[in-house]
Structure 1
Amino acid sequence: MILSLALLAACDSAEERAEKHFQDGLELYEAGDVARAIVEMRNVFRIDSTHREARLLMARIELERDNPPGAYGHYRALVEQFPDDFEAQRAAAEIAAELNDWDAATMHATAAAGLLDEGQIDPVVRSVELGAAYRTAREANDLPAARAIAEEAATLLEDNPELLMLRRIRVDDRFSAQDWEGALTEIDGVIADTPNDRSFYLMRLTALDQLGRDDEIEAQLRDMVDRFPEDDMRRVLVTWYMAQDRADDAEAYLREQIDPENPDAIDRMVLVTFLTQLRGAETARAEIDAILSSTPADSPDRALYRSVAASLDFDLGNRDAALTEMEDIIAGSEPSDQTRRIKITYAKMLNSTGNAVGARALVEEVLEEDTSNVEALKMRADWMISDDRPDEALVELRRALDQAPRDSEVLTLMALAQERLGSHELSGEMLALAVEASGAAPEETLRYATFLVQEDSLLPAESVLIDALRLQPDNILILSALGNVYVRLEDWGRTQGVIDALKRLDNEEAAQVLNELTGQLLAGQNRQSELQSFLEQLAGAQGSNGQAIAAAIRLRVAQGDLDGAMEYLNERLAETPDDPGLRLISAALLSREERYDEARTTLRDLLEEFPENQQLWMALYNVNLAAGAPEEAETVLQEALDEVPDGVVLKFTSAVEAERQGEIEDAIAVYEALYENNSGSLVVANNLASLISSYREDDESLQRAYAIARRLRGSDVPAFQDTYGWIAARLGNLDEALEYLESSAAGLPDDATAQYHLARTYVMAGRDSDALEVYRRTLEILDTNRRQLPFREEVVAEISRLEESESSVDN
């Protein structure tokens, strides 16, 4: 009884402590001290993670901080604890819809609707339901259904003008109908009511662009520069000028931003950066010279201008002089924010020359003086990620984010760190935030769109790319990515729309993307004869266009027309017999026809001309393998490595060859060297972690393998599943391990290593009967493939042991 009373008293005390932290936090929030209020809310959750009011307050704070993903996280926690909480379900549905997470939005909207009385309609919930239904209709290209949903949205909107989801449906409906004036009317109504929602300004730009109102686009972009100063809209405006072939106007605009009476160093540096990108480093260097000549010797900005001049000299190839100048600038400067910026620039220069030690030393100097220096924290975090220390990197990046919450580079690095940890969902959230923080800049947009495509989230990828195109309608990389999304969706009408947009650009880069998309469109619609004609016309129109010729030949080969492929190639070779690309294609066709000696001769002739070309060496290596001459292939590989010792493809192939021969430590050594140069390569990371975990037994090696392989968690690639699953098994996480290893073994039915890992894990889990079956399959594969793998004797011994055990049980 005494013990029970003591426990009850402890519970009461914990609840009281949590409530005290909540009340203190609420008081701080109401007083405007949000940072300290957040600390108090975290204290609440450490004591009581189910505190409803604290969750609601944190969700409100995150929305006010313009962090919808953070707010959604708190609402999601609330509905998990209190599934009958209508307000939380409704809020979660609305936010998830705004984040384009339609599965979650539908789930929460359905739950919220189920809590209403029969016949009752909540406008917010209904708006989410309509948004989901509209998306489904558009995805199915069901235009009548989409039109009907848009009409219902318009009716609901009359009494609920604040619901942005309904507005978005209406705008998209007008866009779909190409009613640009109607779309403008809808958008202007939203902007009048909610003047700070940037997404509708982007839609407005699209409508204005379609209507050809360039003057209004320019005026709106200038307005957005002032209205959204944190979104780098000045860069967007300059990019638009460039897209309009108005480089002089872009330069004039940037010069307008510089106050001649009191010039700001940052505005000057923006101009110099622009000149570097547009007119080259020499022109920018001349601008810096002019700035230096007008800057007094005692000006605090002079050191900054000198460092920029040195950086430009570095880019122009005068590296030694530039580094010496940077060292002199730093030696003569007192500690300050500006000096620390110069040190960071110097560190980046050193790092690019391979002097990582010097670069890291400078970064540490900066952080000793200023522990919250954002640029230094980013560089240190980047190194930590490369060194497989993503947990530590996230600590540094959170400190950086506290100082610069809208720094897209910080958010991108956080995404990379989360990816290394295998937290793919969090990685995607960070990439989405990076796009928003960058103002839908191309690099961040393409990175996030690539992530979405890899996750098979094609419609969200389309939405992200379209948002970016509203700002840069002529960006070829974004148009290419969007076109490929439509190809995967098999939306041929919109694919043709991207092709038409590329035609209007009328330049070589756009033409290349246009041709690729046209080929994909014809192939996707199974218009084989048109595709063949298109490729051959393209090759003829552009002379010896290797890509077009190769594509035309691949198509003939796929159709089983080897003779036609060779005849077509010979015709092209007759026109340009010395073309190296055509000769390489010829070698590939000769090999396919089993004319190996002729293929070898062709490749040897090419290697006489291009001895450092890895593609040619690999082609010769593969011809020997195809000819059933593995020893000759090994000789070719060694010859290639002697000629191109740093060839990444050749070194990777040598590691695969060493593993095939059972020379595991040699393979590991090669992968280690490749990993040191590029720890971001998924394939290298997988192969290295796989070999370490499979053939080394010490705990230190196992922990290293786990650090490398964490990023593979959640993968659906069988080889990656095998690596991660086996490491999980060795760490004792058998349920998780079997989930991955069973999937891997099914996906790699002829891979002895994958089967062996599954069999061993079955033994660990006490499933001897399953283990025996898989061990037998492993031995069959080993005997069939005759690979020299070190675990063959173990497999034989285990089969014998398990059979004896099974026999004794039967007896």
Structure 2
Amino acid sequence: MLADQKTNKSSLPYLLLSALILTACNSPEETAESHLQKGKELFEKGEYDKAILELKTSSQSSDQRADTYYYMALLDEKSNNFKSMRENLLKTLERDSNNMEARQKLGKVHLLFGDLDKALEQADFILGVNASNVEALLLKASVLVRQEKKDQAVKIIDDVLAGNSGNVDALSLKAALLFQDNQLDQALATVDAALEKDIKNMPLRLFKIKINAKKNNIDAVAEDYKKLIELYPDSDNFKLSLASIYSMSDKLKEAEELLRDMVAKRPDKLEPNIVLLEFLNAKSKDRVVDEFNSLLANFNKNPAGKLEMSKWMLANGYLEAASNGLKQVVESEKDNKTGLSAQTILAEVAVNNKEYDKADEAIAKILKANSDFVDASLLKARLFLIKNEVDQAIELLNKVVWTKNDSDNAFMLLGQAYTLKKDLKQADKNFKQSLEINPANLQAFLPIYNGYLRANQKEMARQYLDKALKAKPNQALLLTNKAELDIAEKKWEDAQETVQRIALFSKNKAVPLYLQANILQGKGEYDKAVSIYEKIIADYPNHLNSMVNLVRSFEGLKQRDKAIGFLEAHHAKNSDNLEVVGVLGDLYMANKDYAKAKNLLESQIKQSPDKSVPLYLALAKVEAVVKKTPEAARDVYIRGLQANPDDVQLSLALAGLYEQTGDKAAARKLYEAVIEKNADVNLAVNNLAALLIESEKTEDVSRGLMLAEKFKDVENVFFQDTYAWGLVKNGKNDEGLAILESLILKEPKMPELRYHLGVAHLNNGNKATAIIELKQALALAEKGQRNFSGKDQVLRLLKELEQR
């Protein structure tokens, strides 16, 4: 036996060498085939991670096989990586152009990406080989639907169904066409027929929900979601959607049961716990603290989760409970990363309470434990900003991003710092950098999103919003922004889905109701919108937007008299409500019932003398319309100022009227008086500067520019125009011209700006360009049916230029 062992041992190197030689002798074809077969076997077993490794090894061989790329495409399909799937299908067909299954899938991917011609090319190729290939026929029909060639598509679909009445894809396409034609009952019946053949077809079930939602059959939608939950019990999204519907229908008990079921199934997962707290925070605030304390026990072995739960509580105003949770984390984690994070948040609480010395001490302690702890450095930078030590904040933040460039809050704070320095370009750059790291950083998101909306770049705004919602799908502010944007762009179905989600988490029940009414109003379902607006106004008597939209909805029904009747009754019950007075007054004016408008306002002034400023402003407009001259408003403004001495709004309105009627001296006097008492009223500063710049006195023109200097870096185009015009009038023509040319890109339809630009070009000897700009100023004023300051000068200049 010992001899045998010795022999076996001595022969081992030979056997190993033989094995290596045999392996080395495998041809590239054999190696590729071996890895391909292993990849296929693993794919069929559902072991996708192992399968892709084998297939990638096969693809790296010098013998590259069509099947290798085809199976890689199938794996891409499993992971929804359709871009890679398309590339692998193309490689498959390069090596085997007759792989019809690859062509079918490539056609579908082309359709998904909107490449209709390429999708049709694949369908036609397959049909050229086999004219009765059902998948190719339906692919072609899908392309024709997208190309709005409905009749051709219907013929193909009907032919397929004639051969197989239960073809699910054909039934799905038919249902989609019926839905487009608003034949909702037929579409529903067709979907049900398809679901009999494929009960677990998720897209079809979601489409059924879409149909029932369009039919406003909320009970049916709820039943549809129940079925989805039954079929896919691990999908929290369906439970959330059903909970949202329950919440919209005031079935709060049922909604809460669903959310609790999500927590019960995965108690140590953060998201379901947060969702439950968000729901309770919106619907039953008094239960949040007890629920938090109860849920916190789920995270005793997960301190990071306990930290996140505590952060949520803090963000929603539960300071004491959040602090207790954070202290538990500090106690268990000491000075490790999680513990230091909790310590930093507690220091942030001190900052929010304006306990700056306590915060400084805590920050110093944290940085002593870990000098590179970013969150503590960020809090220190925030303290610098609070104390208006902006340069120190920027210096510290730049050090942070130099060593750690993945902190969204560091870039967000840099954005805020540069905003304080009025360097808006740098602020914008840093806010966007923050959003690259964390799309849902609200303090960075809001200035970027609102900036794009102000510039009417809604597509860019939506891109940022979609990314933010992907990161935080239940954030109420983001959801509200999405609903408002969907409504503005008439994406009714998307808006409806978003409003349902808002209903689950909104603390204010009026928000989802108001948005729901907006959707109905936008779709022309005015009677349903009116019903909801009336409900909101009954619960929230001062809800101005609901009153305005109620009137618009009644106008849509051509029932202005009902709008007037409703608002008169509402005013009778809420006689001190200025919002209803404003809307009712405007409605009287639209109805040319000027006497009623005047009586309403005069009566309200007597009843609410302490709130009379907006009433005098409205009454002045009524008088100007009734007497058909703006001067009629003057006495009303003077009366208003007698009752409200030194009120800025009334003073500016009266000064504006003096300007309009040519009494520039009186206007100037009023603007001077406003500025003397409040130098920060920018409108008064701007208007006074504009008057002075137009003066014939050199000292006035010089003072006008001095006043306008404060608008050098502001975003307001009108104010910047005043500054640029002051430069031109003070002999600094090139500087003024450069600013005016940049402003014209932002505001191309402003007559005053065109006039100023024309004069600046004329000063530079560009006569032809000057004439074009001056004529454009007149044309814009005529198109907008308004006068503008300088119109007489434009007419005089053009006459002089044409005579030269």
Q: TM-score range by the shorter chain?
A: 0.5 to 0.7
Output the CA distance in 1 between the equivalents of 2:143 and 2:721: 32
Query: Following the alignment from structure 1 to structure 2, what is the Cα–Cα distance between the partners of residues 644 and 775?
Result: 36
Is 1:254–1:271's contact at 8 Å kept on the other side of the alignment?
Answer: no
Q: 1:84 to 1:398 in 2, by over 3 A?
A: farther
Does the Cα contact within 8 Å between 1:407 and 1:437 map onto a contact in 2?
A: no
> 1:499-558 deviations in whole A, cap 9, x for unaligned?
376479x4667x666555544433443433333333333333223222212222222223
Question: Is this contact kept in 1: 2:432–2:448, CA < 8 A?
Answer: no
Tell me the residue number matched to 2:120. 84
Correspondent of 1:171 among 209, 213, 230: 209
Q: Does 1:753 align with 2:733?
A: no
State the alpha-carbon separation in 2 of the partners of residues 485 and 229 from structure 1: 38
Q: Secondary structure at the match of 1:388?
A: helix
Residue matched to 2:16: none
Equivalent residue number for residue 765 of structure 1: none
The 1-side partners of 2:670 and 2:636 are apart by 14
In the TM superposition, 1:131-530 aligns within 5 A as 131=176, 134=179, 137=182, 145-161=183-199, 164-175=202-213, 182-194=220-232, 200-209=238-247, 214-224=252-262, 232-249=271-288, 251-258=290-297, 264=303, 267-268=306-307, 270-271=309-310, 273-274=312-313, 277-278=316-317, 283=320, 287=324, 303-318=340-355, 320-321=356-357, 324-325=360-361, 328-329=364-365, 331-336=367-372, 339-380=373-414, 387-388=424-425, 392-393=429-430, 396-397=433-434, 400=437, 424-458=458-492, 460-472=494-506, 475-496=509-530, 498-499=532-533, 502=536, 506=539, 515-530=547-562
Matches of 1:482 and 1:689 in 2, distance apart?
Answer: 46
- CA distance in 2 between partners of 1:799 and 1:754 (Å): 16
| 1:617-696 correspondence to structure 2 within 5 Å | 617-625=651-659, 627-651=661-685, 673=710
Structure with bigger RCO (C-alpha 8 Å, 6+ apart)? 1
Does the CA contact (< 8 Å) of 1:692 and 1:705 recur in 2? no
User: What corresponds to 2:563 in structure 1?
Assistant: 531
- 1:776 shift after superposition: 5.7
Residue 142 of structure 1 corresponds to none
By how many angstroms is 1:233 displaced?
Answer: 4.6
Q: Is the 1:418–1:426 Cα contact (8 Å) retained in structure 2?
A: yes
Contact 2:692/2:701 (<8 A) preserved: yes
**Letter of the aligned partner of 1:445 in structure 2?**
L
Pick the structure with greater CA Rg.
2
User: Contact conserved, 2:652 with 2:684, CA < 8 A, in 1?
Assistant: yes
Are the aligned partners of 2:536 and 2:546 in contact in 1 as well (CA < 8 Å)?
yes
Cα deviation digits, residues 219-249 of structure 1 (max 9, x gap): 3223445779999454432232133325224
Deviates more, 1:657-666 or 1:554-563: 657-666
Change (3 A) 1:451 1:328: same
Write the mapping of 1:4-83 to structure 2, written as runs, cut at 5 A. 63-64=80-81, 79=115, 82=118
Identify if the C-alpha distance between structure 1 residues 178 and 491 changes in structure 2 by more than 3 Å, giving closer, same or farther: closer
CA distance in 2, matches of 1:518, 1:548: 12
Equivalent residue, structure 2, for 1:49? none
Rounded to whole Å, the distance in 2 between the matches of 1:499 and 1:755 is 47
CA contact (8 A) 2:465 2:478 kept: yes
How far apart are the structure 1 equivalents of 2:708 and 2:585?
35
Identity %: 11
Q: Does the C-alpha gap of structure 1 residues 600 and 683 become closer, same or farther in structure 2, counting only changes over 3 Å?
A: closer
Partner of 1:10: none
Task: Give 1:560's aligned residue.
Answer: 592
d(CA) in 1 for partners of 2:709 and 2:51? 50
Letter in 2 for 1:723: L
Cα shift at 1:340: 1.0
- Measured after TM superposition, the shift of residue 428 of structure 1 is 1.5
1:691 Cα offset (Å)? 11
Kindly provide the amino acid, as one letter, of the partner of residue 364 in structure 2. D
Q: Which amino acid aligns with 1:601?
A: I
Matched, 1:544 2:576: yes
Does the CA contact (< 8 Å) of 1:664 and 1:691 recur in 2? Answer: yes
SS in 2 for 1:396: helix
Write the mapping of 1:101-120 to structure 2, written as runs, cut at 5 A: 107=146, 119-120=159-160
TM-score calculated relative to the size of structure 2:
0.66
> Separation in 1 of the partners of 2:302 and 2:462?
40
Q: Distance in 2 between matches of 1:59 and 1:701?
A: 57
Distance 1:56 1:255, change over 3 A: same
Q: 1:692 to 1:397 in 2, by over 3 A?
A: farther
SS in 1 for 2:533: helix
Post-superposition Cα deviations, 1:459-483, rounded to whole Å, max 9, x if no partner, equal: 5434433342255495433333332
Matched, 1:570 2:592: no
Structure 1 contact 776–799 (Cα < 8 Å) conserved: no
Give 1:605's aligned amino acid: Q
CA distance in 2, matches of 1:328, 1:447: 39
- Please, which runs of 5 or more residues in structure 1 have no aligned partner? 1-22, 38-51, 89-102, 138-144, 710-721, 727-743, 761-767, 802-811
Q: Quick check: 2:585–2:597 contact (8 Å CA) kept in 1? A: yes
Instruction: Indicate the residue corresponding to 2:638 in structure 1.
Output: 601
2:172–2:190 Cα contact (<8 Å) kept? no
Please state how far the C-alpha of 1:660 moved relative to its aligned partner: 7.7
Conserved in 1, the CA contact under 8 Å of 2:520 and 2:528? yes
How far apart, in 1, do the equivalents of 2:411 and 2:71 lie? 31
TM-score for both structures, normalised by structure 1: 0.65
CA distance in 2, matches of 1:668, 1:631: 19
Task: Indicate the residue corresponding to 2:790 in structure 1.
Answer: 787
Checking the alignment, whether the CA contact within 8 Å between 2:588 and 2:597 is kept in structure 1 is yes
Please list the CA deviations of residues 741-768 of structure 1 after superposition, one character each: whole Å capped at 9, or x if unmatched: xxx5xxx8x77829988xx9xxxxxxx9
Q: Distance in 1 between matches of 2:801 and 2:74?
A: 59
Q: Deviations over 1:425-462 (max 9, x none)?
A: 24323313323432242211222233334445455434
- Contact 2:689–2:708 (CA<8 Å) still a contact in 1? yes
Q: State the SS of the aligned residue for 1:543.
A: coil
Contact 2:385/2:417 (CA < 8 Å) preserved in 1? no
Listed one character per residue, the Cα deviations across residues 387-436 of structure 1 (whole Å, up to 9, x for unaligned) are 23599558735751xxx577677777775687799864243233133234
List per-residue Cα deviations over 1:167-218 (Å, max 9, x = no partner). Answer: 2342244456665554344223333445566653343224444776544422
Q: C-alpha distance in 1, partners of 2:491/2:703? A: 40
CA 1:210–1:123 in structure 2 vs 1: closer, same or farther (change >3 Å)?
Answer: same
Bigger shift: residues 559-568 or 581-590? 581-590
The amino acid that maps onto 1:168 is: L
Alpha-carbon contact 1:408-1:435 (below 8 Å) kept: no
